[in-house]
Amino acid sequence: MNRFEYVRADTIADAIAALAQSAEARVLAGGTNLVDLMKYDVAKPSRVVDINRLPLKEVADTENGGLKIGALVSNSDLAWHPQIVKRFPLLASAILAGASPQLRNAATTGGNLLQRTRCYYFYDSSTPCNKRTPGSGCGAIGGVNRIHAIFGASESCIAVHPSDMCIALAALDAEVEVEGVKGRRLIPFEQFHRLPETTPERDNTLEQGDLVTAVILPATDFGSHHTYLKIRDRLSYAFALVSVAVGMTMEDGVIADLRLAMGGVAHKPWRNKVLEKTLHGAEVNKASFRHFAEEALRGAKGQGQNDFKIALARRTIVRALTQAARGTPQDQSDKTFR
Amino acid sequence: MELHRTNYDLIGKPTRRVDGELKVTGRARYAAEYPAPDLLYGVIVSATVPVGRIKTLDTKRAAALPGVVRIFTHENVRSAAWLDRKWRDEVAPPGHPFRPLHSDRILFDGQPIALVVSDSFEVARDAASLVRAEYELGDHCTELEMKRTDAYDPPEKRSGIPPPPSPRGDAEEAFERSPCRISSEYRINAEHHNPMELFGTTCVFEAPGKLTIYEKTQGSHNSQGYVTSVFGLKSRNVKVINHYVGGAFGSALRPQQQLFFAVMASLELERSVRVVLTRSQMFYIGHRPDTYHAIALAADETGRLTSIMHDAVAATSHYEDYQEAIVNWSGMLYHCDNVKLSYSLAKLDTATPCDMRAPGAAVGVNAIECAIDELCHEVGIDPLQFREINFASKDENTGKQFTSKALMSCYRDGASAIGWPKRSPMPRSQKDGHELIGFGMATGTWEASLMKATAQAKLTSDGRLEVSTAASDIGTGTWTILAQIGADALGLPLESVTPRIGDSTLPASPVEGGSWTAASNGSAVLAACEAVKQTLFKYAKTMTNSPLADADYERTVFAGGRIAHDGDHARSLSIDEVMHAADLSEIVESGKASPSLLQMRKYTSYTHSAVFAEVRVDEDLGVVRIPKIVCAAAAGRIINPKTARSQILGGVVMGIGMALHEEAMTDHRMGKIMNHNLAEYHVPAHADISDIEVIFVDEADDKVSPLGVKGLGEIGIVGTAAAVANAIFNATGRRVRDFPITLDKLITETE
């Protein structure tokens, strides 16, 4: 861990100013990822801007019937918030599928969006990694890549985004509220994270001086038909090999609306909105789900050790669609798969 | 030696840890928690390539940081001992022990190349990250598969490790003529110990050449011996303390990097120094080696074993021939007239492997017990019945008798506890929802050793007893069982006994390993207490008007703080009365334990177990759950059923790790382990563990050790991974021979 300047921001404007001055400044919220990365010499910020005193800890109703979640609401508080439990159980489930109670107590909503990949090479500063050290190469291509991407990878980077919460937020069509030097703006969730292309060092579309202040959920909640199904190398406390978030509405036994996002497969939550529409009006049956899963994995490409993810993702989609349609979502406490 | 005329009041009774309160309140100090005046902090810089030479080592930027006291490298460190043997610790394998900072040569990735010392840990850590090394790279190989053809029989055998027994019968011929045969290959990936406590040493500089060392070790005497030998110090000037050890599993048997660095820096700087390894650095201090197992088994139609062949190749380093007994178990688990076993090593560019819980047996028994399950399936016989048919009533490797072997009781009680009749012999025939259900079993065994150990017992006139031996408690419960033994020996309540362990100034003890501590140190403590009793009795007899004047020692009972003839209160004296009359403030006696060579000519001793597992495997997703495991163990006398059960639970959990989770993921192009942290090196989480039932069957053994104790540290892991793998086969019909069994290996194309 390097020496750094510590700044505690008392207002959002102070935080933005402190961040805007240096490209090497980083925000400290829960610290569950940043402090780790600093100890591994992966993150070496010149300045750490502590935002924990900012008034961003509220969950409030929006005019459109949705919810606005402050960036500093902890993962635990969010997962157990009565409004989330009641109206957005998909989000609650995804949050509880991740990390451990202790980590969720410390981790924040904004921080969760900014989690960095768990790629082994990214974490080991003695190996090449374009995300950590641009231009140094990608160690994972041709290397240990069991946990890596099957969609959207580039020759520069095959890392995946690690968050569970973000997969649900992608399915829910959330928006990210950002304040920056040019004022406030809303970023649609699918435009928040990005693919690696030739600049994998950039995980998202934030600019220097930007601060995530809130996540906004639209009114559509998928309270009855949803699931977050996470498949991993042990039953708890492991990142997803593949996860699937499904939100569905049903009318007269027919699928009226469907959202499906995949985690563990790409540099960002992976959705195919065109394909989702093909199930609108479809009856619930295994054949249509299997066909959907086939199509959903079209174009997927393994890297060797992670080739199994393609078959695994197909099966996970079929199971997740079945769980959502039946209204028997994945239970994150007993870990059994229905 | 039996316990003299006691009722085993405390021995055999579930007893809370005497050190439990200290641990849960944080008052038990571990090596890196001891304060010292003017303490310096050392941080190790590790090599980032597997083989080569250091061309340049740039320490300028690091040295320029305010607060950096010194940076030690191979270029400036004062030489320690030159002779190889000076670096050989008590349990070192044959070869050339690794010498930190000895030269510019790099032998393995993660090798320490510098130590940055500062008066603050944070500065030392920051500075360490600024040290830059350039290397001249050599060719490396970290992949066992590439080196199998170069495997060799180690020329020098490791002390205490029996080489494979000579072949008996004609295994090849018997294999060829047998109607039922299987031949398969198993691979068990390298594993890392990962105890919770990081490796740390706090070296307190008392005076030039005089040190007190708080050290994470499984043997204070081993660390003391290493330090005095390497640095040329006098034994009386080096004290090593390891009161509490936060797990080790074998990784703290040998002195590790941090001990060398803390002592070296302390001697050079004449200051106290603390060095703690990072979690990542703990992946380069020894591991369970990667192994391949080629196994061929044959049986007749009735399920009688006719041939056993097991050839194992294990990885070692280029500088030491680390060895363990891997295949020997295959020749003694079952009765078989035709057996051929071999064991060879292959050199890889890694650190030397080191003993990890049930070294050798954990992998060897796992492989053979999976192969036995394959053979049972081939013959069409129930695996439990097969094991009963082929029961070995003596050790067929040596021809010796077992001092005891209550394995049949383990089979019976374990099968009953899991509900073995629920198992369907047909794989893939039981299903509940998406989950396939299966049952599997395996036999486990581990040696029951008695090592040379010494102890002291001190009885004071206030009726308090102190028992001392330089044993270690790595979480096993040693503190508690020694108190129980002392209390029962003298008929005192547990609270009146103070055990003292974890200190090199105490009576000599071997390292805590091999499951021998309870038997060895326990027997030494018992012997010392026996000597105290005899002394006390002598004084009691010769007291003026002694009611015990004509008492017979053999008929004397020590209970409730009194010495009574035949338990007759009227003919008794209190300890206080005797010592007061003799004007004694204390009685101090020594005791020792050592194996009987005479007995060892005729007998061998082993702990045995039967492990049963029930698994559920999601048919589509390959996710494995283990609703229940039963481990029924025959381990002689159980001193403390509570801590003993915990030992088995821990072993079983580690066995589940071997079955499903644990593996070093190596990038062989770079020669580097990539998952060197606890987020990516998976051990079972709570959700992976459900019901574990531990059964101790009755096993009386008057030969294995004076206490009848066999030891329990390792047996819980042996056989567990095989039971799980066999249950997975029963559930899915899929035989995975490459451990761990991760879900990708179970996804079948059934869609």
Q: Which CATH architecture has domain A5-51?
A: 2-Layer Sandwich (3.30)
Q: Which residues contact B67 (CB under 8 A, 6 or more apart)?
A: B118, B119, B120, B123
Q: How far is A319 from chain B (nearest CA, A)?
A: 9
CB contact (8 A) between residue A144 and residue B618: no
CA angle A307, A309, A311 (to 5 degrees): 95
Report the alpha-carbon distance of residue B590 to residue B603 in Å, rounded. Answer: 28
For residue B742, which residues of chain A lie inside 8 Å, CB to CB?
Answer: 233
Residue B449 in 3-state DSSP?
coil
Give how far the C-alpha of residue B711 lies from the chain's centroid of Cα atoms, to the nearest Å.
Answer: 11
CB contact (8 A) between residue B661 and residue A319: no
Q: Which CATH architecture has domain A59-114+161-217?
A: 2-Layer Sandwich (3.30)
Q: Which of B449, B429, B454, B452 is nearest to B439 (CA)?
A: B429
The two tokens of residue B249 are 């599993």
In chain B, the domains with their CATH numbers are 34-139+195-278 (3.90.1170.50), 150-191+287-449+601-745 (3.30.365.10), 452-594 (3.30.365.10)
For residue A127, which residues of chain B lie inside 8 Å, CB to CB?
Answer: 667, 670, 672, 674
Q: Where are the domains of chain A?
A: 5-51, 59-114+161-217, 226-326
The two tokens of residue B170 are 């004609």
Torsion, Cα B630 B634 B640 B641, to 10 degrees, reads: 30
Q: How far is B345 from chain A (nearest CA, A)?
A: 25
Handedness of CA B481, B485, B486, B492 (dihedral sign): positive
pLDDT tens string A232-289: 999 999 999 999 999 999 999 899 999 999 999 999 999 999 999 999 999 999 999 9
Which pLDDT does position B228 carry in this prediction?
98
Closest Cα in chain A to B745: A308
For chain A, residues with pLDDT lower than 70 are: none
Handedness of CA B694, B699, B700, B706 (dihedral sign): negative
- Cβ neighbours of B150 (radius 10 Å): 12
* H helical segments located in chain A: 12-20, 34-39, 75-79, 82-87, 89-96, 101-106, 109-113, 120-123, 165-171, 189-192, 273-278, 286-296, 308-326
CB contact (8 A) between residue B434 and residue A337: yes
Q: Report B:665-684 residues touching A (Cβ under 8 A).
A: 665-667, 669-670, 672, 674-677, 679-680, 682, 684
Q: Which residues contact B465 (CB under 8 A, 6 or more apart)?
A: B457, B458, B459, B486, B487, B490, B492, B496, B497, B498, B529, B532
Q: Check CB contact of B432 with chain A, cutoff 8 Å.
A: no
* E strand residue ranges, B575-689: 586-593, 603-604, 606-618, 624-634, 666-667, 672-673
Q: Which of B745, B130, B221 is nearest to B451 (CA)?
A: B221
**Is the pTM above the cut of 0.90?**
yes
For residue A336, which residues of chain B lie inside 8 Å, CB to CB?
Answer: 625
Handedness of CA B376, B377, B379, B384 (dihedral sign): positive
Mutate to test the interface with B, among A48, A237, A305, A307 (most CBs of B within 10 A): A237
B663 flagged as catalytic = no
- Pick from A1, A123, A234: which is nearest to B685 by CB? A234
Q: Check CB contact of A3 with chain B, cutoff 8 Å.
A: yes
Q: Which residues contact B431 (CB under 8 A, 6 or more apart)?
A: B437, B619
CA angle B83, B88, B94 (to 5 degrees): 100
- Cβ neighbours of A39 (radius 10 Å): 14
Rounded to 5 degrees, φ, ψ at A235 are -80, -15
Closest Cα in chain B to A333: B687
Rg (CA), chain B: 27
For residue A241, which residues of chain B lie inside 8 Å, CB to CB?
Answer: 743
Torsion, Cα B360 B361 B364 B365, to 10 degrees, reads: 180
In 3-state terms, chain A is what percent helix, strand and coil (to 5)? Answer: 30, 20, 50
Q: How far apart are the first and last CA of chain A?
A: 44
Task: Print burial letters for B627-649: b (CB count within 10 Å at least 16), e (below 16).
Answer: ebbbbbbbbbbbbbeebbbbbbb
Rounded to 5 degrees, φ, ψ at A95 are -65, -45
Q: CA–CA distance from B494 to each of B463, B489, B537 (Å)? A: 12, 11, 21
CB contact (8 A) between residue B620 and residue A120: no
CB contact (8 A) between residue B667 and residue A144: yes
Closest Cα in chain B to A240: B680
For residue B620, which residues of chain A lie inside 8 Å, CB to CB?
Answer: 315, 318-319
Q: Of B378, B714, B749, B751, which is the active-site residue? A: B714
Mutate to test the interface with A, among B49, B672, B734 (most CBs of A within 10 A): B672
Torsion, Cα B309 B310 B311 B314, to 10 degrees, reads: 180
Q: Which residues contact B550 (CB under 8 A, 6 or more apart)?
A: none
Q: Report A:114-133 residues touching B (Cβ under 8 A).
A: 118, 120-121, 123-124, 126-127
10 Å CB burial of residue B550 (0-12, 13-18, 19+) is: exposed
Residue B142 in 3-state DSSP?
coil
Residue B245 in 3-state DSSP?
coil
Q: Which CATH architecture has domain A226-326?
A: 2-Layer Sandwich (3.30)
- Cβ neighbours of B125 (radius 10 Å): 18
Q: Which of A253, A226, A234 is nearest to A87 (CA)?
A: A226
Query: Which residues is B310 bridged to in the sheet?
Result: B295, B341
Counted across chains A and B, CB pairs separated by less than 8 A come out at 98
Closest Cα in chain A to B672: A127
Average pLDDT of adjacent 10-residue blocks, chain B of 751 residues: 65 97 97 97 98 98 98 92 91 97 97 98 97 98 97 97 97 98 98 98 98 98 98 98 97 98 98 98 98 98 98 98 98 98 98 98 98 98 98 97 98 98 97 97 97 97 96 97 96 96 97 94 96 96 92 91 87 93 96 92 97 97 98 97 98 98 98 97 97 98 93 97 98 98 85 38
- Cβ neighbours of B736 (radius 10 Å): 17
Rounded to 5 degrees, φ, ψ at B570 are -65, -30
| Residue B611 contacts residue B444 (beta carbons within 8 Å) | yes
Q: Report A:293-312 residues touching B (Cβ under 8 A).
A: 308, 311-312
Q: Report B:49-68 residues touching A (Cβ under 8 A).
A: none
- Pick from B622, B674, B685: which is nearest to A235 by CB? B685
Q: Check residue A115 and report its DSSP letter.
A: P
For residue B747, which residues of chain A lie inside 8 Å, CB to CB?
Answer: 308, 311-312, 315
| Residue B477 contacts residue B509 (beta carbons within 8 Å) | no
